[in-house]
Amino acid sequence: MKREGLVGSSSDKVLLGVDYFLTGELTGLSQAGSSGQSDYILYTFRLIDAESSLEVWEDFEEIKKEGLEDVAYR
């Protein structure tokens, strides 16, 4: 529909087309012991081309927190 001009960013069109989908995933691992607690969190992001379904970008971020108390809610 986008190629045929039925949807797009033109001001006279009511419907808008989608170029990309941004997806994400959150994975966590917690561990507790006598010395305290640690949390490891991995955020993964993917940008998908809506027309070809190809992944055009991917990135991740890792976070580790440690403490004597529960560190997930600080």
Residue 24 has pLDDT above 90, yes or no: yes
pLDDT tens, 43-73? 999 999 988 889 999 999 999 988 776 555 5
How far is residue 17 from each of residues 8, 12, 52, 55, 67, measured CA to CA in Å? 5, 13, 14, 18, 47
- The pLDDT assigned to 59 comes to 97
- Give the phi and the psi of residue 3 in degrees, each rounded to 5: -65, -35
Residue of 43, 33, 28 lying closest to 73 (CA atoms): 28
- The pLDDT assigned to 61 comes to 96
